[in-house]
């Protein structure tokens, strides 16, 4: 299969905005060391000819989760890990980052080939290379195979959708940022119309494309977050609703949200089903990953080309994935309105190491004391992720500690 044609270059470059002034230099291969982004070789047959990088925080426990990060065009693994804010939460909440990198030999603008059927099918091409990286992390690092997630921007967002479609048995959840529905394009020619103005299909038609990616699969499907700027002219905003239609259909949900809320920076959040699909629309934002530089618990990232200073999408995705149970509790976000938000991914409750500690206090006090965290106006027990009710001084809950940094409702 040809890896790069002139049309391919044009499509893939537009998919993540090839007006980027200059790509950050490729990360040099480094010897394995703690808390550094390190190149990994020999992770599999690698039919897609991708490069693997991994970031493993200091003090990473056995059985930790992992997040696969897929960069946009004219970016690389180092750029995306450094600027997206994921390293901050990997350090804080202890999970591995797996960062595939597209070499220019595959695509002149280093875009993942989201529009090539041979690279987005189960068991083939780039999709299989990424899956092999996950397998390597599970066998070599001891990653928890039930808690693997994927997130990506633009061409990387479209490839995230491909990974969720082709490997629902591998990924528990994913985030599609300024991306495109799975199998909207099947060639460089059709990629143009998918990007802008977008392609309109019924939810069932979109859902069938995902179901066809792993025919006969009847297992659990991943939960999905979709992010899109309302002023994105590179990948038309219509793709946000089409992606919503695709994943709600796959999960058997209505396209009518069960709740809506307003978040900082003019961001609206629509929740579908039992928080199985989320759609974030960032008002006035163009094409890029939403970041919010700063030292606050809900702030992250570095602003720059295609990293847009609005809201920290990484913080909300990490909580949506259920990764926030192992670190400090987030600080309040007063501008968020009350709405149902994340339920952490199920995980075994650790056995108590001594007499249980029970505390009754307001939900606000629990968050301040680090026994809980808040998101979207609700409080959640640290570790278990159980929803406690509204985040304020009027709602009172009793929490029991059953393990280090692990609290459950009741005593």
Give the containing element (helix H, strand E) for 74: none
Strands in 265-334 per DSSP E: 267-272, 277-282, 289-291, 307-309
Catalytic residue flag (residue 154): yes
Please pick, among 154, 160, 261, 384, the residue that the annotation labels catalytic: 154
In terms of Cβ atoms closer than 10 Å to its own Cβ (0-12, 13-18, 19+), residue 24 is middle
What's the rounded Cα separation, in Å, for the pair 165 and 224? Answer: 11
Q: What angle (nearest 5°) sits at the alpha carbon of residue 254, between those of residues 196 and 336?
A: 80
What's the rounded Cα separation, in Å, for the pair 114 and 190? Answer: 12
Contacts of 125 (CB under 8 A, 6+ apart): 1, 47, 48, 113, 116, 118, 119
Could you tell me how many helices (H) and strands (E) the chain has, helices first? 11, 18
Handedness of CA 156, 161, 165, 167 (dihedral sign): positive
Q: Provide the β-strand partners of residue 153.
A: 177
What is the SS3 assignment for 190? helix
Strands in 10-65 per DSSP E: 37-40, 51-55
Strands in 178-311 per DSSP E: 223-229, 259-263, 267-272, 277-282, 289-291, 307-309
**β-strand 277-282 against 223-229: which pairing, if any?**
parallel
Q: What angle (nearest 5°) sits at the alpha carbon of residue 60, between those of residues 157 and 149?
A: 20
What is the SS3 assignment for 53? strand
The count of C-alpha atoms lying within 13 angstroms of the C-alpha of 370, restricted to the half-sphere facing its C-beta, is 5
What's the rounded Cα separation, in Å, for the pair 191 and 343? Answer: 35
Write the DSSP symbol of residue 321.
Answer: T
Give the containing element (helix H, strand E) for 143: none
- Which residues belong to the active site? 154
């Amino acid at each position: 299969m040809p890896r790069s044609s002139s049309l391919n270059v044009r499509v893939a470059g537009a998919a993540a905005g090839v007006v980027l002034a200059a790509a950050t230099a490729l990360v040099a291969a480094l010897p394995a060391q703690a808390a550094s982004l390190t190149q990994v070789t020999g992770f599999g047959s690698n039919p897609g000819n991708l490069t693997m990088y991994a970031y493993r925080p200091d003090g990473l426990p056995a059985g930790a989760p992992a997040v696969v990060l897929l960069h946009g065009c004219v970016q690389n693994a180092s750029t995306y890990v450094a600027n997206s804010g994921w390293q901050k939460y990997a350090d804080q909440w202890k999970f591995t980052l797996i960062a595939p990198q597209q070499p220019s030999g595959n695509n002149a603008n280093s875009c993942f080939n989201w529009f090539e059927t041979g690279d987005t099918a189960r068991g083939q091409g780039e999709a299989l290379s990424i899956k092999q990286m996950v397998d390597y992390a599970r066998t070599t690092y001891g990653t928890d195979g039930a808690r693997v997630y994927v997130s990506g921007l633009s061409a990387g967002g479209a490839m995230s959708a491909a990974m969720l479609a082709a490997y629902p048995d591998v990924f528990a959840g994913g985030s599609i940022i300024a991306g495109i529905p799975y199998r909207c394009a099947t060639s460089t020619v059709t990629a143009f119309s998918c990007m802008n103005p977008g392609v309109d299909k019924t939810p069932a038609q979109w859902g069938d494309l995902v179901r066809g990616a792993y025919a006969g699969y009847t297992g659990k499907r991943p939960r999905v977050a979709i992010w899109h700027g309302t002023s994105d002219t590179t990948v038309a905003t219509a793709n946000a609703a089409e992606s919503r239609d695709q994943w709600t259909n796959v999960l058997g949900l209505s396209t009518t949200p069960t709740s809506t809320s307003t978040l900082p920076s003019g961001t609206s959040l629509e929740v579908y089903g039992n928080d199985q699909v989320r759609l974030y629309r960032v008002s006035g934002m163009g094409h890029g990953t939403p970041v919010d530089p700063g030292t606050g618990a809900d702030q992250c990232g570095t602003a720059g080309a295609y990293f847009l200073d609005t809201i920290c999408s990484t913080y909300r995705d990490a909580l949506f994935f259920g990764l926030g149970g192992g670190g400090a509790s987030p600080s309040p976000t007063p501008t968020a309105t009350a709405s149902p938000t994340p339920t952490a991914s199920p995980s075994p409750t650790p056995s108590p190491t001594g007499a249980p500690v029970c505390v009754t206090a307001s939900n606000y006090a629990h968050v301040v004391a680090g026994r809980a965290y808040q998101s979207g106006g609700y409080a959640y027990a640290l570790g278990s992720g159980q929803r406690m009710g509204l985040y304020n001084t009027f709602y009172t809950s009793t929490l029991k500690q059953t393990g280090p940094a692990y609290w459950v409702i009741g005593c």
